[in-house]
């Protein structure tokens, strides 16, 4: 079978709160690591979330 184009990635908070989001990413068009500014409810502010692997 063919490899899937979209993969699930874990977006971990840069504020080191342990909070994370799960997002889908097209691995063929977006080859670099995903970085987004999103809301961290533990830190109660918007911070950068960086991509990491789902274990």
16 in any annotated domain: yes
2 in any annotated domain: yes
Q: By residue range, what is the domain housing residue 23?
A: 1-27
- The span from the CA of 23 to the CA of 43, in Å, is 20
The SS3 of residue 37 is strand
Range 24-42 average pLDDT: 95
- The span from the CA of 49 to the CA of 13, in Å, is 5
37 in any annotated domain: no
What is residue 55's predicted lDDT score, i.e. its pLDDT?
82
Q: What angle do CA 27, 18, 8 make, to 5 degrees?
A: 20
Radius of gyration of the chain (CA): 12
What is residue 1's predicted lDDT score, i.e. its pLDDT?
86
Range 19-46 average pLDDT: 96
Residues 9-21 have pLDDT tens digits of: 999 999 999 999 9
10 in any annotated domain: yes
Domains held by the chain: number: 1
Reported confidence tier of residue 36, pLDDT bands at 50, 70, 90: very high
32 in any annotated domain: no
Tokens of 19: 């909070």
The SS3 of residue 46 is strand
Range 35-46 average pLDDT: 97
């Amino acid at each position: 079978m063919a490899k899937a184009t979209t993969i699930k990635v874990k977006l971990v908070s840069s504020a080191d709160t342990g909070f994370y989001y799960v997002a889908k990413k097209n691995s063929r068009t977006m080859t670099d690591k995903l970085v987004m500014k999103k809301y961290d409810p533990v830190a109660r502010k918007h911070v950068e979330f960086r991509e990491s692997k789902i274990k």
